[in-house]
Amino acid sequence: MGALRLATVAGLLLLHGCAMFEPEPEPEVVEPAPEVVVAPEPVVVVPEPEPEPPPKPAPPPPPPQQVAIVLSSRQPAYEEVANELSERLDNVAIYDLGDRSQPPVLAFRQINDSRTDAVVAIGLRAARSSLALAQVPVIFSQVFNYQDYGLVTDNSRGVSALAPLDAHLDAWKKLDPTLARVGMIIGAGHDSLRAEAEIAAQKHSVDLQIREAGSDQETLYHFKRMIHEIDGFWLFPDNRILSPRVLAEVLEQANRRRVPVAVSNDAMLQMGAAISISTVASDVAATIVKVLERMRAGGTESLPPLTQLSEARVATNDALMKPEVAADASDRNADGEAQ
């Protein structure tokens, strides 16, 4: 029993010894974890905005367009219209073709080199020169026989040289209610004038006799034949069919037969006309301005060949009117004028 215990103890010791001398296991090789490299975030440098350049100064507005007013001469009828235009338009330059120190070519060189956008030509010479030399649209006035000179073109328009014919007969009938038969002699090319006269005559219950003449002698011939059949003669400023000699004879015969003659120029009252129905400078100028505005807005195509006026100025030679008519005219206006 004792031996058995001894053997058991010896066995345990042996086992214990074996356990004490058992080789240790090789240590595990642990690979190091990969190093995590954190890349720095890029630094974005935001440039500061450059200051805006100061605004450029606005260019000065161009000077206003200029209107050139071209006169055939300095006669009062032309100059009055020019003065009225100067009051209605902001920027005008006036050229007088009657001034020999400034020939037309030089005047239009200045016009074409300026900021002129339109020419207003007053009188026949001014109109013809403007059509030939101006490089801008032309408005002409104070020209009766405009058709003969080709003054209406793609680049030009006109204003009537006469007060409205309805105003002519209206004033005449007010002065002389007995007026019933009127004679009229005109040259070729005035179809629109004839039509206007016929409409006015019909409106005022006047029997209008119209003859067409081709010369001053033919005018005199027609006048001598109609003088016995009319109680008034309507004289138009058609210099193609009138000469100073024939004009004087027409007025002399009319006065001898007590047939009043109506004209469109006050100066003819001193020559023997009885009544003058003429244009009004302010009305002519206002009409030109209207034509100019329409021309600037829509070109010449928007305009009729000739624009009519609106007003009339009436003056009488009381010594040559019928006695009852002259007395009535004197009562109405001591100066013999009305408008």
Report whether 338 contacts 171 (CB < 8 A): yes
SS3 275: strand
Query: What is the pLDDT, as a whole number, of residue 305?
Result: 95
Give the predicted TM-score (pTM) of the model. 0.77
Q: How far is CA 117 from CA 17, 64, 143, 275, in A?
A: 132, 10, 22, 40
Q: What is the pLDDT of residues 96-107, one digit of tens each?
A: 999 888 889 999
Over residues 20-31, mean pLDDT: 57
Query: What is the pLDDT, as a whole number, of residue 67?
Result: 97
Over residues 275-296, mean pLDDT: 97
Contacts by residues 220-227 (CB-CB < 8 Å, ≥ 24 positions apart): 220/246, 220/249, 220/250, 222/185, 223/183, 223/185, 223/250, 223/253, 224/253, 226/183, 227/183, 227/253, 227/254, 227/257, 227/259
Residues 6+ apart with CB under 8 A from 42: none
Over residues 158-171, mean pLDDT: 97
State yes or no: pLDDT of 271 exceeds 90: yes
Report whether 250 contacts 219 (CB < 8 A): yes
Over residues 205-216, mean pLDDT: 97
Phi first, then psi: what are they for 24, rounded to 5°? -75, 145
Query: pLDDT confidence of 65, banded at 50, 70, 90?
Result: confident
Query: pLDDT confidence of 16, banded at 50, 70, 90?
Result: low
Query: What is the pLDDT, as a whole number, of residue 335?
Result: 38
Query: What is the pLDDT, as a whole number, of residue 330?
Result: 46
Query: pLDDT confidence of 116, banded at 50, 70, 90?
Result: very high
Report whether 264 contacts 278 (CB < 8 A): yes
SS3 93: strand
State yes or no: pLDDT of 124 exceeds 90: yes
Query: pLDDT confidence of 50, banded at 50, 70, 90?
Result: confident
